[in-house]
């Protein structure tokens, strides 16, 4: 059965694929504006059943203690997803507007492949450490430190890289022995329900271990964050929503792991190849139409090379035509929705009103009358205090800002409520080290280095979140620590 049929878009609750109590809602192709089909709309009874099923699977089965079985299930899921890769690719391109070439990497195949890393951790992790004996208060005790699953994890995810983010939560959460209720974004329900169908029909993952709840309403996510049966919320999304998640979770003091927004800086030092670096920065902000939390959307260049950098960035951005994501050469597809395009356009008008110079782009591309496309846009003559330099736009928009040397570049890079990622370009290792050790972000690329990898922790400083996803650190987010002391 093709994963693209309406029948395969169902909720997954307690091991059963079933319709949503709230009926259905439309999922739309952002490149064509056509309705692709219907997704199940979960109501509060569905959420209640999903949390109940996850609770029972955690409390009443051996799932959390059977490390080898979990590794087997994760490998089985990976194999089944790989077998259906072409159907999943079609859904991902159609529903997310993700360019085809990205589905060979972080939009699909990369994160599916990375389930092996999670399976390997379930097998190889040191679940128990012998702390030896000690005699506190005169009682000789042998101590063992155990690491255990937290319990029921509520995973809430956005639409921009749905598989990457869903699997970066499901993989380590399951490998660590938790059960999960996944609530994906309303814009990309099929990316999640297709995975639910595969879990139900092609894996030994026990009923209730993974539950998938799609909903047109954000309230279902909100209810998940406040339910006392949920032990942890793993959230990726905007900083504003992350704040609401943390507030809601506070009543039951559940752990909140937050991956939030960014406004990362691309710092060019004066000994770098200015044109090459500026061209790279311009290209990277156009990938997936700029809908990436870690994209470097502020380009900080030496003041003496300001016009040279603008010229190089403009040449690159002017040469990138947004277009059909099904085409192999497309890197800049549509924005996810008309609402998101309106948001980007709002920021462009604010940039103009605040004195910004639109060097290239600034509007909707000619000749594309269907689809939520926006032109790659380069903005100059704003300082770091301007709205377009401070707030996350989530479109293919780059703001160029001059700096007066390495320390000034560090100051500007850090002058942001966010601290997610960044890039530094230069030739002198000592200067690069000076800058990378002072920029306060969770990841940094140097001269085009790529930090994204299954074994590399990713996450933010400041208001870009707390905790780390991926790597051993990302796995350990889903664990509790228990110390057992035995007398004698």
- Nearest 5°: CA angle at 409, between 403 and 410? 160
Residue 238 interacting with ligand NAD (CB under 6 A) = yes
476 is catalytic: no
How many chain residues touch ligand NAD (CB under 6 A)? 31
Q: Looking at 394, 425, 475, 478, which residue binds ligand NAD (CB under 6 A)?
A: 394
Residue 473 interacting with ligand NAD (CB under 6 A) = no
Closer residue to ligand NAD in complex, CB, 268/293: 293
Q: Looking at 76, 203, 241, 284, which residue binds ligand NAD (CB under 6 A)?
A: 241
Residue 9 interacting with ligand NAD (CB under 6 A) = no
Q: Whose CA is closest to 164, among 119, 98, 252?
A: 98
Rounded distance, CA 246 to CA 233, Å? Answer: 9
Residue 189 interacting with ligand NAD (CB under 6 A) = no
Closer residue to ligand NAD in complex, CB, 92/203: 92
Given the structure tokens 């032990």, which residue do they identify? 231
End-to-end CA distance of the chain: 61
User: Binding pattern to ligand NAD, positions 298-337, x when CB under 6 A?
Assistant: ----------------------------------------
Which segments of 319-456 are extended strands (E)?
Answer: 357-360, 377-380, 397-403, 418-419, 422-425, 445-446
Residue 418 interacting with ligand NAD (CB under 6 A) = no
Residue 475 interacting with ligand NAD (CB under 6 A) = no
Residue 171 interacting with ligand NAD (CB under 6 A) = no
Q: Looking at 222, 326, 337, 414, which residue binds ligand NAD (CB under 6 A)?
A: 222
| Secondary element (H or E) of residue 265 | strand 264-268
CB 401 within 8 A of CB 382: yes
User: Smallest distance, Å, CB 135 to ligand NAD?
Assistant: 46
Closer residue to ligand NAD in complex, CB, 179/463: 463
User: Smallest distance, Å, CB 419 to ligand NAD?
Assistant: 11
By CB atoms closer than 10 A (0-12, 13-18, 19+), residue 226 is middle
Q: Whose CA is closest to 188, among 218, 162, 150?
A: 162
Q: Looking at 64, 92, 107, 157, which residue binds ligand NAD (CB under 6 A)?
A: 157
Closer residue to ligand NAD in complex, CB, 292/323: 292
Q: Whose CA is closest to 278, among 423, 475, 162, 133?
A: 423
Residue 10 interacting with ligand NAD (CB under 6 A) = no
Q: Looking at 73, 121, 156, 287, which residue binds ligand NAD (CB under 6 A)?
A: 156
User: Smallest distance, Å, CB 339 to ligand NAD?
Assistant: 9
User: Smallest distance, Å, CB 192 to ligand NAD?
Assistant: 10
Q: Looking at 186, 361, 426, 445, which residue binds ligand NAD (CB under 6 A)?
A: 186
Rounded distance, CA 172 to CA 169, Å? Answer: 6
User: Smallest distance, Å, CB 433 to ligand NAD?
Assistant: 26
Residues 6+ apart with CB under 8 A from 235: 155, 156, 225, 241, 242, 245, 256, 257, 258, 259
Residue 230 interacting with ligand NAD (CB under 6 A) = no
Letter string b/e over residues 4-29, b meaning 16 or more CB atoms within 10 A of that residue's CB: beeebbbbbbbbebeebbbebbebbb
- Nearest 5°: CA angle at 399, between 394 and 403? 140
Q: Whose CA is closest to 280, among 445, 73, 460, 462?
A: 445
Closer residue to ligand NAD in complex, CB, 191/305: 191
Q: Would you give the DSSP letter of residue 27?
A: E
User: Smallest distance, Å, CB 223 to ligand NAD?
Assistant: 8
Q: How would you classify the pairing of strands 35-40 and 24-28?
A: antiparallel
Residue 293 interacting with ligand NAD (CB under 6 A) = yes
- Segment near ligand NAD (CB under 6 A), from 13-21, 241-249, 375-383, 432-440? 241-249
Residue of 259, 375, 469, 477 with catalytic role: 259
Rounded distance, CA 29 to CA 37, Å? Answer: 9
Dihedral sign, CA of 70, 76, 82, 85? Answer: negative
- Segment near ligand NAD (CB under 6 A), from 30-38, 180-188, 397-405, 428-436? 180-188
Q: Looking at 261, 279, 371, 467, which residue binds ligand NAD (CB under 6 A)?
A: 261
Closer residue to ligand NAD in complex, CB, 151/154: 154
Residues catalogued as catalytic: 259
Catalog residues that contact ligand NAD under the rule CB under 6 A: 156-161, 165, 183-186, 218, 221-222, 225, 236-238, 241, 244-245, 259-262, 293, 392, 394, 420, 460, 465
């Amino acid at each position: 059965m093709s994963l693209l049929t309406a029948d395969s878009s169902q909720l997954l609750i307690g091991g059963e694929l079933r319709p949503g109590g709230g009926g259905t809602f439309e999922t739309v192709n952002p490149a064509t504006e056509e309705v692709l089909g219907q997704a199940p709309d979960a109501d509060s009874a569905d959420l209640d059943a999903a949390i109940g099923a996850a609770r029972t699977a955690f409390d009443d089965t051996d799932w959390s203690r059977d490390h080898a079985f979990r590794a087997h299930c994760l490998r089985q899921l990976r194999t089944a997803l790989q077998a259906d890769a072409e159907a999943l690719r079609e859904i991902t391109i159609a529903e997310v507007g993700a360019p085809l070439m990205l589905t060979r990497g972080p939009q699909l195949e990369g994160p599916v492949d990375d389930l092996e890393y999670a399976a390997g951790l379930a097998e190889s992790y040191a679940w128990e450490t012998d702390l030896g004996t000690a005699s506190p208060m005169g009682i000789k005790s042998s101590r063992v430190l155990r690491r255990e699953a937290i319990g029921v994890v509520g995973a809430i995810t956005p639409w921009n890289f749905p598989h990457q983010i869903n699997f970066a939560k499901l993989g380590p959460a399951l490998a660590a022995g938790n059960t999960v209720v996944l609530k994906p974004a309303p814009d990309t329900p099929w990316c999640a329900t297709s995975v639910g169908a595969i879990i139900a029909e092609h894996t030994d993952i026990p009923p209730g271990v993974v539950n998938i709840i799609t909903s047109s309403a954000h309230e279902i996510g909100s209810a998940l964050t406040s339910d006392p049966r949920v032990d942890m919320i793993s959230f990726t999304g905007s900083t504003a929503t992350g704040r609401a998640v943390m507030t809601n979770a506070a009543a039951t003091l559940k752990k909140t792991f937050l991956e939030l927004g960014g406004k990362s800086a691309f710092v060019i030092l004066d000994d770098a190849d200015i044109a090459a670096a500026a061209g790279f920065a311009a290209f990277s902000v156009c990938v997936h139409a700029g809908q990436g939390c870690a994209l470097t959307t502020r380009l900080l260049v030496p003041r003496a090379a300001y016009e040279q950098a603008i010229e190089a960035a403009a040449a690159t951005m002017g040469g990138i035509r947004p277009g059909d994501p099904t085409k192999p050469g497309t890197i800049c597809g549509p924005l996810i929705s008309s609402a998101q395009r309106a948001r980007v356009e709002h920021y462009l008008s604010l940039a103009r009103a605040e004195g910004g110079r639109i060097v290239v782009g600034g509007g909707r591309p000619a000749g594309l009358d269907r689809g939520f496309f926006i032109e790659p846009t380069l903005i100059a003559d704003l300082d770091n205090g301007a709205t377009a330099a401070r707030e996350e736009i989530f479109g293919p928009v780059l703001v160029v800002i001059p700096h007066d040397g390495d320390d000034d570049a560090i100051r500007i890079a850090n002058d942001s409520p966010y601290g997610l990622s960044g890039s530094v370009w230069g030739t002198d290792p000592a200067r690069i080290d000076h800058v990378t050790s002072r920029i306060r972000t969770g990841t940094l690329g140097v001269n085009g280095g790529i930090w994204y990898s299954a074994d590399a922790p990713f996450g933010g400083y400041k208001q870009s979140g707390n905790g780390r996803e991926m790597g051993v650190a990302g796995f350990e987010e889903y664990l509790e620590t228990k110390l057992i002391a035995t007398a004698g």
